[in-house]
């Protein structure tokens, strides 16, 4: 099951990045000659849809391969893959030993006019080293729903041989109190979940991870299977802050934010 958050501007509406845009002087001259106001929007920055790239890492954190998701437009596919191949990561660890692995990068982009052409600026990169193969969402506690009360649940899970067990549970940043309605709902739902790695073979994930689940006051639930999960969200960042440093997950060492591609 997937949860989606709409993005305002589709990349499909963008002009090709090889296409030049009218210069300010040309637009002004045309406006003077025709009396038609200059199309200022032609030079405006444009926010694009979130793009996804699957990355194979060596045991040293070097990128072995980078493959853009099928839905990434052809006009920016090679640009993204080339950029990602130059990034450096800290490798994933298992029992304290660095290992090769697969991760997924969710990349937020803005198209900016540079010298009469559009260039891509990286505004946000989020890295995940697991995905939800199956996730039955927790039930919204009826008592909380009636009171229109929401909460952010941070669930630390240990995965061994495809079996998940809870090793930590926080509600709104604090350890879950005994009998907490939201914590109980998440615990009940966990056995129906299946977590796998980004390995193309779909092998089970092995390791410790933090899963954020947000219950909002309008009785919707967003979780690890959110299609926009890689985007910047305060509730997801809140959960990451609780993650113990000893957990050997992949981290992005490069700082691509702000770079023009």
Residue 72: per-residue pLDDT: 93
Please write the tens of the pLDDT for every residue from 148-187: 888 889 988 888 877 788 888 999 889 999 899 999 999 9
What does the DSSP assignment read for the chain?
Answer: --B----SS-GGGSPPTTSB---HHHHHHHHHHH-PPP-GGGGS-EEPPPEEEEEEE-TTSBEEEEEE-TTS-HHHHHHHHHHHTT-BEEPEEETTEEE-EEEEEEEEEEEEEETTEEEEEEEEEEEES-EEEE-PPPPPPHHHHHTT--EEEEEEEEEETTEEEEEEEEETTEEPPTT-HHHHHHHHHGGG-EEE-S-TT-PBP-EEEEEEEEE-TTS-EE-TTBTTTTS--HHHHHHHTTS-TTS---EE-S--TT-B-
* Full-model pTM: 0.64
Predicted pLDDT at 235: 54
Mean pLDDT of the region 77-85? 94
For the chain, give the mean pLDDT: 75
For residue 10, what pLDDT is reported? 22
Quote the pLDDT of residue 63.
95
């Amino acid at each position: 099951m997937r949860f989606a958050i709409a993005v305002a501007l589709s990349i499909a509406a963008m002009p090709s990045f090889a296409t030049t845009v009218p210069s300010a002087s040309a637009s002004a001259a045309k406006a003077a000659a025709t009396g038609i106001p200059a199309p200022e929007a032609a030079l405006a920055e444009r926010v694009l849809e979130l793009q996804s790239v699957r990355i194979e890492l060596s045991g040293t954190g070097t990128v072995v391969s980078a493959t853009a998701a099928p839905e990434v437009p052809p006009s920016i596919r090679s640009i993204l893959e080339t950029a990602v191949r130059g990034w450096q990561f800290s490798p994933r660890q298992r029992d304290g030993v660095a290992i090769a692995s697969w991760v997924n990068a969710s990349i937020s982009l803005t198209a900016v006019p540079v010298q009469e052409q559009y260039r891509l600026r990286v505004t946000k990169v989020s890295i995940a080293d697991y995905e939800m193969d199956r996730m039955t969402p927790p039930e919204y506690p009826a008592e909380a729903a009636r009171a229109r009360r929401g909460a952010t649940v941070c669930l630390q899970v240990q995965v061994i041989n495809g079996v998940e067990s809870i090793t930590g549970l926080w509600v709104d940043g604090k350890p879950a109190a005994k009998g907490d309605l939201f914590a109980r709902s998440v615990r009940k739902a966990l056995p129906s979940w299946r977590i796998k790695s980004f390995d193309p073979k779909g092998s089970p994930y092995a390791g410790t991870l933090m899963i954020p689940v947000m219950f909002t006051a309008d009785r919707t639930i967003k979780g690890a299977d959110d299609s926009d999960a890689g985007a910047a969200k305060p509730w997801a960042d809140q959960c990451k802050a609780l993650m113990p440093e000893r957990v050997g997950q992949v981290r992005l060492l490069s700082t691509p934010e702000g770079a023009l591609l």
